[in-house]
Amino acid sequence: MKIKKIDHMGVIVNDISAAKEFFLDFGLEVKGEWEMEGELMGYAVGLNDAKVTCVGLGTPDGETWIELIKFITPPDEKGVQQTFANTLGIRHIAFTVEDIEAIVAKLKKKGTKIFSEIQQYEESYKLCYVRGPEGIILELAEEIK
């Protein structure tokens, strides 16, 4: 038995258009868009009458894949819950990037909230955290060569 890689990450959103635009501005590309519903969908996610619309986004090389998922039914009654970096559970998605300064400047111009200015971690990485729509947190890391 061997684990090969993480195939993708699902991000549940309410405003799929805003989340899609955020990831397109970041530099991902749309790889597919689809809807799913029916018995198999409900069984797979453990919800009755589940219907979703999805956008698959990936890096240009196709190695990284994120699925944005909007549940049409059933809706989440609680809505978006603001979390903090120390909230238990999955908190952020980390991307290795080139030219972190240019990416952060582009995202700032689009109104993205920057947690901190770009910081250097030892002699290995430049790091920055940004928050997109609905509390999505990205960690950007540029390897120092």
CATH label of the domain that carries residue 67: 3.10.180.10
State the pLDDT at residue 130.
Answer: 93
State the pLDDT at residue 42.
Answer: 66
Shared domain check, 105 and 64: no
Which domain-ending residue is among 73, 107, 126? Answer: 73
State the pLDDT at residue 16.
Answer: 96
Read off the pTM: 0.85
Range of the domain at 60: 9-73
State the pLDDT at residue 126.
Answer: 95
Structural domain tally of the chain?
Answer: 2
28 close to 66: Cβ distance less than 8 angstroms: yes
Place of tokens 């200015």: 117
State the pLDDT at residue 58.
Answer: 95
pLDDT mean for each 10 residues of the chain (145 residues):
83 94 96 87 73 94 91 79 76 92 94 89 93 90 92
Do the domain assignments include residue 83?
no
Which domain-ending residue is among 40, 73, 106? Answer: 73
Which domain-ending residue is among 19, 41, 73? Answer: 73
